[in-house]
Structure 1
Amino acid sequence: MNITDDRIKFLRLLSEKYRSRQQVCTEIINLQAILNLPKGTEHFMSDLHGEYEAFSHILNNSAGVIREKVDMLFEGTLTPRERSSLCTLIYYPEEKLEKINEEGRNTEEWYRFVLQNLIDLAKMLSSKYTRSKVRKAMPSEYSYILDELLHAQADEDNNQFVYHQKIIDTLLKLGEGDDFIIALSSLIKRLAVDHLHIVGDIFDRGERPDAILNMLMQHHSLDIEWGNHDILWMGAACGSQACIAAVVRNCLSYNNISVLEQGYGISLRPLVLFAEKMYDETDPNKAAKKAISIILFKLEGQIIRRNPDYGMQERLLLDKVNFDDATIDIDGVVHELKEKRFPTINRMDPYALDPAEREIMDELEKLFRESEQLQRHVTFLYNHGSMYRKFNGNLLFHGCVPLDEDGNLKALHFGGRIYQGKSYMDYADSIARRAYFSDDRTQKELDFMWYLWCGSNSPLSGRVVKTFERTFLSDESTWKEPKNPYYRYQDSEPVCRMLLREFGLYSENSHIINGHTPIHVMEGENPLKANGRLIVIDGGFCKAYQKTTGIAGYTLIFNSHGMRLKSHQPFSGMEAALSENLDIDSQSQQVATLDKRLMVADTDTGEMLKEQIADLEDLLTAYREGLIAAKA
């Protein structure tokens, strides 16, 4: 065996884990077997925007995968009503069991019927995984029993089935039926989807992004591609006062300040008291929104002045206001402002905070930094998230890769260097991490978090954000927010292929998967673009978008047979689901059908396993040739 000293050192370390030839052979056999199993199901979701109930339901029903499996397995043995009831039990086992118990339907016969159906469904879903992986997915308190029940084999006298029936008898006799149903439901949901992708925008608009994050933190396997609304909250948690002001303004705009005050323990009382003194508004929230808007425009102006390389000088608007007649000249057109009084603006230095505003922002920064729940959620976003991700041949990012007018990668200048395409995304990712984790982070890095939220060339935004115009001007023509050319080139297959190559993806089965821009189904817009090379899965989870999108969100399923896009209708609510077994009505559209079934060997995990096998084969050779002595 021709082997370097460094390789021998590595193999000696590996031999500490695999201490004999037999152990090495066993692991190689195990890994080879895993490579030949079907690829696990991936589930893609995007633009959740705090809509906890709808998100929770689609996560629980695995975008309809569980209902499909239930219909497939029980079509000939259960009525449609029984199948719907079984699905609801799997989605919400604790709540559904409580209703069944209240109605007195929790007879021994019912328990046996339901448990057998759940066991059969779990057997079906576990068939594509190794026994070891299924065992690890089981709730620990019932793992032994579940392992026995899922792997029953027929024998000459049906002894095993009798043995398993006795297990169920004992469970019911001990009053463990409810807990065992909950454990089985948890296992089924975990087996239905192997990996979850959240393609950005957990925060804002809806009331419970904190509840969504709590649920995601319990998920067994996921990644997150940051959205512009996520990065805004992340910037606020870092201590960027501009991000904090924008977060507060958004919460006031969407009437969901409860997420700040109840979810994260951040009080707006000092801001409200200040605003009531300064502005003539009977509604304290409207007064607070006016106050924080002025603070935000001041802080944004300071950032733009400090960072000329952002190229956002045209967004410096406060110094263009004529405060005597409350007008502003934009591109040679004079517009009247809706707001006439600006009591906190110093005309000589309109971007300076007055002492009271400074005190409010310092207090808010302290509250954001010290909110344990917010910091826990943001740490989770950093640990499981990134600007983009390559996963099993697909490229995932929330917004865009900035392009120029000709559809080429746009060259952007930051800190004396030029970035474009992948190098720009990597740069943005590294600055975002420094802003949170680095002990010596600078104002420059905090400023960049705000830029990622709303910069015209931010890969998370990709448009000119017109918050000032939307706040103060009645002329809606000034509200239009020009987008990066990326959004014009989304339908160009050559451009999409160029972007995939930029990130090292050359397969004919590779796709770009985006969120960020709601698909207007009512106007005939198609989420599949560039001959299916690009897929946009923002279809309107947020209730505010559903009147224009016509649906309540897209999700994407990628299993061993191909890709399917699922379009969802609005959710009727958990109460309707529990009492009437109502599910979200979803339509399925095939995106890509594969010529042959994808196995684990064809995935990113497969590539890692192949490398492990190569290392183990070298270790086996080293044992056989006596280069390393076996330890057992």
Structure 2
Amino acid sequence: MEDLKFKYLERLSEIYPTIAQASTEVINLQAILNLPKGTEHFLTDIHGEYEAFAHVLKNGSGSVRRKVDAVFGNTMSSRDKQALATLIYYPREKMDRVKKEENNMEDWYKITLYRLIEVCKRTASKYTRSKVRKALPKDFAYVIEELITEKAELTDKESYYNEIVNTIIRVRRAEEFIIALSELIQRLTVDHLHIVGDIYDRGPGPHIIMDKLMQYHSVDIQWGNHDILWMGAAAGQRGCIANVIRICARYGNLDILEDGYGINLLPLATFALSKYADDPCECFGLKGSTSFTAQEKEMEIKMHKAISIIQFKVEGQIIRKNPGFKMEGRNLLHRIDFEKGTIDLDGQKYELLDKNFPTIDPRHPYTLTKEEEDIMERLERAFLNCEKLQEHMRFLLNKGGLYKVYNNNLLYHGCIPLNEDGSMKQVKIYGKTYKGKELYEVLESYVRKGFFAVETKEKERGRDMMWYIWLNENSPLFGKDKMATFERYFLAEKETHLEKKNPYYSLLENEKVVDSILAEFGLSGECIHIVNGHVPVRSKNGESPIKCGGKVLVIDGGFSKAYQKETGIAGYTLIYNSYGLILTAHDPFESTEAAIEKGSDIHSDSIIVKRVMARKRVEDTDDGKRLKERIRDLEFLLEAYRSGRITEKI
């Protein structure tokens, strides 16, 4: 052990070769420990709603407006503060409108620049100069640093700063400078972003959201069931591919695949128009509002039915290949009486709403036709070879996982599978039994195997496991006894559509159960929380996102427009700054244009979940623990230098 420690110190001495350098680093790290904790921003269940997501990202769930309020207080009207906040969110677009209305732009530039500089100073004050410097835009780095840094040696500070601002305006760089300051404020307001699952499906822009996240300065992602579905599709798992296409078709979003990812759906379209030419496909209507022509809508509906039937066949094959999944009860095609148009479910006969199945052989209902097999082969190749999709999935794998413990918060999407008595459910995965944290970890390992395993069998298991995570009752990302896709399409009886939730969801107010979950992931003591996505909180029915006295925060309130009729709002987000936890409920987002034109913000109501008596500092965070370890190692190095065990490299 001593030898290892000495070798480590020798390696450390290569980075800090002198007492002076090691001492300086200790001083720097100690100073960082005493800075205020950075602001964390939590979002979940974005479901492709790019415009609303982009706005919430820009305003930091109200954090930017709080900075503006803190700087100007009662010295500026509420209307002017909102106008300044809107400028920070959309600087280029806002200035285009101002120029049409303002007579003296030079004065406007001067006032606006001073205001932005003051907000920038406040925003940057909780970081080291080094960290701020790294965030500065390249073109204006030196000038911005001069403007936001106090210079005690200057006798006439006002004149110095005035001259800089006047020069910026005189050389016609005011607009670019305003944009740079606004983007810097956005960048510094939120130190770290957490996405607690479900970037994909329902909304029109998940690929745009992924592009945005890949450019974000600091982010982690807890995979949601819809993200796992797309990951499985990208890995070539046919059940996942069929589900992805079906959901895109259902919400009128096939252009995500065709335009966003360049996946060719023409073979499926041709097949659908041929096989369902005279079929109205009434059970396969589109959800949400679309701007399709009648002809486009008809084609999309037929494609929707075609891929749904393919999905039921492919899933039947997966279930029979994996008896350990215990999902034979979800194989329904062989229970159909094709002559009578009925199905037998749990000993009861139901009449089907749609009785036209031209591609199903009643003797072999789960066998794809030659045309269907050809379509799936083409789609499998297309998903596997789509460079942009694979890039997005690599990002999810690099930045993501099934859960995360960060600064005393446990983040996950979905649930911990529980028994009725609140104990953790034992789940069998490929012959071995797991529960709680171990279940999460083994499932995550199989997801990664689905992409990276060298052995063919393990890779195939990993791919099938992604489909399992999407819809199995024992999956922590699903947490219901079944996914009633077939029943919702083909049966009128509502009782067949019911999906019974895991006991987890009814036990979230049970402190003993919640404490046992937190303990399972290594959390105990005060100020510990579960941040949970996946199931929308129905605020209009009086449901609260705050459970178990604040220990559980369910922050899916319906970002997706498809959920907003049920929830009554457009999602919750969470802010964790140095003063505590703030939960924000959002109104439905009208449009980017309305936000710019009217100065309307998206956040509507903030709830302080927890406020700390003493402001949290970096030393109270996980980063602080790592910095303390670094300081300890550097102090050991200093001791080794001074005792002569290691020689300075002067």
TM-score range relative to shorter protein: over 0.9
| Matched pairs, number | 629
Q: 1:582 aligns with which of 563, 578, 600?
A: 600
DSSP 3-state at the match of 2:15? coil
- Contact 1:398 1:515 (8 Å CA) reproduced: yes
Deviates more, 1:139-148 or 1:116-125: 139-148
Q: Distance in 2 between matches of 1:379 and 1:6?
A: 35
Q: Which residue of 2 aligns with 1:444?
A: 461
Shift of 1:105: 5.0
Q: Which residue of 2 aligns with 1:548?
A: 566
Q: Which residue of 2 aligns with 1:299?
A: 314
Shift of 1:495: 0.5
Q: Does 2:137 correspond to 1:146?
A: no
Deviates more, 1:39-48 or 1:582-591: 582-591
Q: Alpha carbons of 1:172 and 1:439: their partners in 2 closer, same or farther (altered >3 Å)?
A: farther
Q: 1:538 aligns with which of 552, 556, 560?
A: 556
Q: Distance in 2 between matches of 1:106 and 1:151?
A: 29
- Which residue type is aligned with residue 52 of structure 2? A
- Contact 2:573 2:585 (8 Å CA) reproduced: yes
Deviates more, 1:343-352 or 1:600-609: 343-352
Q: Distance in 1 between matches of 2:161 and 2:72?
A: 21
Q: Alpha carbons of 1:150 and 1:290: their partners in 2 closer, same or farther (altered >3 Å)?
A: same
Q: Distance in 2 between matches of 1:286 and 1:296?
A: 15
Q: Distance in 2 between matches of 1:432 and 1:476?
A: 34
Q: 1:477 aligns with which of 495, 506, 512?
A: 495
Q: Which residue of 1 aligns with 2:289?
A: none
Q: Which residue of 2 aligns with 1:454?
A: 471
Q: Distance in 2 between matches of 1:444 and 1:631?
A: 53
- Contact 2:448 2:462 (8 Å CA) reproduced: no
Q: Distance in 1 between matches of 2:34 and 2:247?
A: 49
Alpha-carbon displacement from aligned partner over 1:360-396 (angstroms, at most 9, x marks no partner) = 0111111111222211111111111100000001100
Q: Distance in 1 between matches of 2:96 and 2:238?
A: 46
- Which residue type is aligned with residue 352 of structure 1? T
Output aligned runs, 1:109-148, within 5 Å. 109-148=107-146
Q: 1:167 aligns with which of 146, 164, 167?
A: 164
DSSP 3-state at the match of 2:433? strand
Deviates more, 1:330-339 or 1:106-115: 106-115
- Which residue type is aligned with residue 167 of structure 2? T
DSSP 3-state at the match of 1:289? helix
Q: Distance in 2 between matches of 1:487 and 1:538?
A: 14
Deviates more, 1:589-598 or 1:404-413: 589-598
Q: Which residue of 2 aligns with 1:499?
A: 517
Shift of 1:72: 2.4
Q: Distance in 1 between matches of 2:103 and 2:116?
A: 17
Q: Which residue of 2 aligns with 1:66?
A: 64
DSSP 3-state at the match of 1:592? strand
Q: Does 2:544 correspond to 1:526?
A: yes
Q: Which residue of 2 aligns with 1:194?
A: 191
Q: Which residue of 1 aligns with 2:224?
A: 227
- Contact 1:572 1:582 (8 Å CA) reproduced: no
Q: Which residue of 1 aligns with 2:252?
A: 255
Q: Which residue of 1 aligns with 2:527?
A: 509
Q: 2:641 aligns with which of 601, 608, 623?
A: 623
Shift of 1:175: 1.6
Identity percentage over the alignment? 50
Q: Distance in 1 between matches of 2:53 and 2:538?
A: 20
- Contact 1:223 1:384 (8 Å CA) reproduced: yes
Q: Which residue of 2 aligns with 1:597?
A: 615
Q: Which residue of 1 aligns with 2:287?
A: none
Q: Alpha carbons of 1:108 and 1:593: their partners in 2 closer, same or farther (altered >3 Å)?
A: same
Output aligned runs, 1:316-465, within 5 Å. 316-441=331-456, 442-463=459-480, 464-465=482-483
Q: 2:586 aligns with which of 568, 571, 590?
A: 568
| TM-score, with length taken from structure 2 | 0.95
What do you get for the CA RMSD once the two structures are aligned? 1.4
Q: Which residue of 1 aligns with 2:20?
A: 22
Alpha-carbon displacement from aligned partner over 1:399-454 (angstroms, at most 9, x marks no partner) = 01111122111111112211110001000111101112234353222111111111
- Which residue type is aligned with residue 599 of structure 2? N
- Contact 2:48 2:201 (8 Å CA) reproduced: yes
Q: Distance in 2 between matches of 1:132 and 1:105?
A: 40
Q: 2:205 aligns with which of 203, 208, 213?
A: 208
Q: Distance in 1 between matches of 2:455 and 2:163?
A: 63
Q: Distance in 1 between matches of 2:464 and 2:410?
A: 27
Q: Distance in 1 between matches of 2:93 and 2:546?
A: 38
Q: Alpha carbons of 1:105 and 1:548: their partners in 2 closer, same or farther (altered >3 Å)?
A: farther
Q: Does 2:125 correspond to 1:108?
A: no
- Contact 1:297 1:351 (8 Å CA) reproduced: yes
DSSP 3-state at the match of 1:615? helix
5+ residue gaps, structure 2: 281-297
Q: Distance in 2 between matches of 1:56 and 1:218?
A: 13
DSSP 3-state at the match of 2:215? coil
- Which residue type is aligned with residue 495 of structure 2? S
Q: Distance in 2 between matches of 1:169 and 1:11?
A: 52
Q: Distance in 2 between matches of 1:157 and 1:29?
A: 30
Shift of 1:527: 0.6
- Which residue type is aligned with residue 299 of structure 1? V
Q: Distance in 2 between matches of 1:211 and 1:274?
A: 30
Shift of 1:161: 3.4
DSSP 3-state at the match of 2:94? helix
- Contact 1:100 1:106 (8 Å CA) reproduced: no
- Contact 2:324 2:431 (8 Å CA) reproduced: no
Shift of 1:156: 6.5
Q: Distance in 1 between matches of 2:186 and 2:113?
A: 15
Q: Alpha carbons of 1:22 and 1:237: their partners in 2 closer, same or farther (altered >3 Å)?
A: same
Q: Distance in 1 between matches of 2:512 and 2:100?
A: 60
Q: Which residue of 2 aligns with 1:88?
A: 86
- Which residue type is aligned with residue 180 of structure 1? F
Q: Distance in 1 between matches of 2:155 and 2:582?
A: 44
DSSP 3-state at the match of 1:535? strand
Shift of 1:106: 6.5
Shift of 1:77: 2.7
Alpha-carbon displacement from aligned partner over 1:306-345 (angstroms, at most 9, x marks no partner) = 1122121210111111111111110111001112121111
| TM-score, with length taken from structure 1 | 0.97
Q: Distance in 1 between matches of 2:536 and 2:551?
A: 18
